[in-house]
Structure 1
Amino acid sequence: MIRPMIIDISEWQHPNQINYPLLAKQIDHVIVRVQYGSAHCDKFYQTHLRRFQELGVPKAVYAWVRGTNHADMAQEARIFFERAKIFQPTFYWLDVEEQSMSDMRGGVEVFRQTLKQLSGKKVGVYVAHHLYRSFNLAVENFDALWLPSYGSNSGSYHGIKPTVNQNYDLHQYTSKGRLPGYNGFLDFNRLADRKPFIFFTDRPQDSTAWGMAEKGSFSLKTAIHLRTAPTIHAQSLAILRAGQTIDYDAFAHEQGYVWIRQKRADGTYGYLATGPSDGQKRTAPSWGVFY
C-alpha cells in the first residue's frame, strides 16, 4: 500500500456500507465529491465529511464541472463553495471530465477565479486523461494538477504514470482499490513528489503510518534484502540470512510483494519482502515462517 494513502469518494460509496473508524485507520487523506454540476448535490457528501472530520482525517472536496457558459461556471463555483465551506476543507478541486461548453478553457478559468476569491483556499484541477489536450485548460493557474492513469487498473500501483503532462502533483492510479472498512472499489491516489503532503492537508503526514498494523516475528527460509523502503529498488540496509528472525509491526501488499516493517534501534524503519503478491493476496508461499 502506497502512503500517504489518499482516496476520493462520492455518493457511489454509500455510508451504510462504510465502517468509517476502520477505513479511517487505512487512509491519510480523503477527497469528497460535493456536487455533479450545480443542480445535483451529492447525496452523502455531508455524512462523508462529517464522519471523517470526527475521526481526524484531513479532508478536501471536489466538484464535477458542468457549467454551460461563463456565468453558469461562476454560479457553479458559488454553489460549490456554499455547500462545502461549513466543513472547512483543506483544498478545493475541480473535476473536469465533460465538455459542457465550447470554451472549456475560459469557462474553467472563470470557475477557478470565482472559487479562489470566495474561499481564499488552494484550488486544484483534475482533468480526464483523454480530454486533456482538447480542453487545453490553463492548468498553470491552479495550485495543483491531479491526473488519472490506470494502466492495468489492478487495484495497485505498478509504475504507470500520466503522460499528457509530466508536471502533475497527484496521480489517481486505480479505480479498483480495496481497503478494510469498505467492501467495494475505491479510487487510490499517490503524491508525485512535487509537493509535500502538508501542502494538500495543512498537516504533516504521520511518518509511522504505513500498511496494516500487526505485531509478529518472521523467520527467513532464504536470504532477503532488508531495505529502506518497500520496493526492490530501495537501498539495501543488510542481507538477512536464512534462519534469522526479525520482529515486525506492520505489513502491506505493495510493488508486487508482501512487505513487513521492522522498527530499527535508531527509530527508522526497514522493509522486508516476504513473497510475491498481486496487490491483494499472496500468489506463492511466503519465504519464511510467521510467528
Structure 2
Amino acid sequence: MTKDYELVADVASYQPDTLSFFKALAAQNVRAVIVKLTEGSANGSAYVNPKAAAQLAHARAAGLLVHAYHYAKFKGSQDASAEAAWFVQHAQALKVTPASVMVLDIEDQQNANWATADANTFLQAVKAAGYPHVDLYSMASWFWSGRLDPSKLLAKNLWVANYGVTAPGVADVGLWQYTNSFEIAGLQIDMSYDFNGFYSKALTSAKPVTPAVQNTSFSDDLGDKWTTETGIFTTKTAIKLRWGAKTTSSVIALLPSNSVINYDAYSMHDGFVWLRQPRSAGKFGYLASGEEVAGRRTSCWGEFEES
C-alpha cells in the first residue's frame, strides 16, 4: 500500500518519553500518537504507565495530536465497568481532554471468549464520563473468530492490527496497524494508517455522538438528575419497564431478553442506571439498565449502540 493516509503511532512504557523522540515522529510525518495510560482496575492489576505524563506532554510539544488507550484485563460487565472507571480517573488526572479518542485495547486471553458485550459496557462508561470519541483496538483474528462483532460494537471506527499483508483483512475499519517495525530514531515501533482521519484530524469536545442532546442535563419532579443521550439498548436479561424511575413505580411490561429499547436520557440514582424511553402522548417508560455506585456504573444488563 502506498502512503495515501496519515500515520498514527502508538506508544507505551517500552517507548521513549523524550521530546526528541516525539519530534522524530513528527519529522517522519506522523500526525498523531496514542499513549497507553492504564491496564486493569483499582482492584485488579491497577497499572498506570509511568511514562504517560511525559509522553503526553512531549507529544503535544512536538505538534502531534494526542489520544489514549487502556489495555483490558476484564471478564464480565462488572470488571469492564471498574476498568473504565480506572481509565477515566487517570485520563482526567493526566488532563486528557474530551477532544481525544479514548481507545479500548482488547486482546488478552483473560477476556471473555465472546467479548462484544463487555467491550460495550466499557465504552459506554467512558462515554458517560464525558469522553464522546471512543474506539476499539484488537487483532484481526478476534473479528474473524467472532470474539468481537463489529455490527454490535459501540465503537464504529475500529482499529485493527494485521501485519505482513496488503489490507487490514477486516471490512470498513478506520485505523490499520500495519507494522510493528516502523523505524524511528533507531527504534522499531507500531505504526498505523488512518483511513477516516478519526485520529489525525483535530476533533473537538463539542463534536457529540448525538449532536442535539450531548451534555444537556435536567432534573425531574423527584429531584433526580438526568443527562440527555439518544441511543439503543438491547436487553440481555428480563427487565421491568416502569412508569417511573423507581423500583416502586408501577410496571408497564416485563421485557424479555433481546428486547430493543430506544432511549433519550439516562440517570444514575438509587443504585441503578436508569434509561428513559419516549412513548406516545408525551409519556415515558423507564428501565434499569444496570447497577451504579457513587455515580459509576458497576454492571450492565444489555448492550448499547448509537441510534
For the aligned pair, the TM-score class normalised by the smaller chain equals 0.5 to 0.7
- Compared with structure 1, are the counterparts of its residues 101 and 30 closer, same or farther at alpha carbon in structure 2 (3 Å cutoff)? closer
Q: Distance in 2 between matches of 1:199 and 1:144?
A: 13
> In the TM superposition, what is the alpha-carbon distance from 1:148 to its structure 2 partner?
1.1
Match of 1:173 among 170, 178, 189: 178
- 2:72 matched residue in structure 1: 65
Match of 1:109 among 120, 127, 151: 120
Give 1:150-161 correspondences, 5 Å limit.
Answer: 150-151=163-164, 160-161=166-167
Match of 2:110 among 100, 107, 127: 100
Residue type of the partner of 1:75? A
Match of 2:161 among 126, 137, 148: 148
- 2:168 matched residue in structure 1: 162
> In the TM superposition, what is the alpha-carbon distance from 1:126 to its structure 2 partner?
0.8
- Compared with structure 1, are the counterparts of its residues 71 and 104 closer, same or farther at alpha carbon in structure 2 (3 Å cutoff)? same
Q: Distance in 2 between matches of 1:80 and 1:198?
A: 19
Q: Distance in 2 between matches of 1:137 and 1:99?
A: 17
On the 8 A contact 2:139/2:162 being kept in 1, the answer is no
- Compared with structure 1, are the counterparts of its residues 137 and 43 closer, same or farther at alpha carbon in structure 2 (3 Å cutoff)? farther
Q: Distance in 2 between matches of 1:118 and 1:90?
A: 13
Q: Deviations over 1:140-199 (max 9, x none)?
A: 4214111111116xxxxxxx1122x211011010000012xx32111111023xx23577
Bigger fraction of residues in helix: 1
On the 8 A contact 2:19/2:58 being kept in 1, the answer is no
> In the TM superposition, what is the alpha-carbon distance from 1:19 to its structure 2 partner?
3.0
- Compared with structure 1, are the counterparts of its residues 37 and 18 closer, same or farther at alpha carbon in structure 2 (3 Å cutoff)? farther
Secondary structure at the residue paired with 1:144?
coil
Q: Deviations over 1:213-254 (max 9, x none)?
A: xxxxxxxxxxxxxxxxxxxxxxxxxxxxxxxxxxxxxxxxxx
- 1:25 matched residue in structure 2: 27
Secondary structure at the residue paired with 1:87?
coil
Matched, 1:4 2:6: yes
- Compared with structure 1, are the counterparts of its residues 197 and 124 closer, same or farther at alpha carbon in structure 2 (3 Å cutoff)? closer
Give 1:46-61 correspondences, 5 Å limit.
Answer: 46-61=53-68
Uncovered stretches (5+) of structure 2, i.e. residues with no partner: 205-307
Q: Distance in 2 between matches of 1:10 and 1:198?
A: 17
Secondary structure at the residue paired with 2:14?
coil
Q: Deviations over 1:58-111 (max 9, x none)?
A: 111111111132111111111111111313251011111113343522211110
Matched, 1:87 2:87: no
Matched, 1:13 2:15: yes
Q: Distance in 2 between matches of 1:170 and 1:126?
A: 9
On the 8 A contact 1:90/1:200 being kept in 2, the answer is no
Uncovered stretches (5+) of structure 1, i.e. residues with no partner: 153-159, 204-291
Match of 2:186 among 179, 183, 203: 183
- Aligned pair count reads 191
- 2:197 matched residue in structure 1: 196
TM-score by length of 1: 0.60
Q: Distance in 2 between matches of 1:21 and 1:199?
A: 16
Q: Distance in 1 between matches of 2:201 and 2:89?
A: 21
RMSD of aligned C-alpha atoms? 2.4
The 10-residue stretch of structure 1 (78-87 or 14-23) with the greater mean CA deviation from structure 2:
14-23
Give 1:235-254 correspondences, 5 Å limit.
Answer: none
Secondary structure at the residue paired with 1:59?
strand
Q: Distance in 2 between matches of 1:200 and 1:77?
A: 25
> In the TM superposition, what is the alpha-carbon distance from 1:201 to its structure 2 partner?
3.2
- 1:78 matched residue in structure 2: 85
- 1:121 matched residue in structure 2: 132
Q: Distance in 1 between matches of 2:139 and 2:10?
A: 15
Q: Distance in 1 between matches of 2:146 and 2:38?
A: 24
Q: Distance in 1 between matches of 2:178 and 2:101?
A: 20
- 2:235 matched residue in structure 1: none
On the 8 A contact 1:30/1:57 being kept in 2, the answer is yes
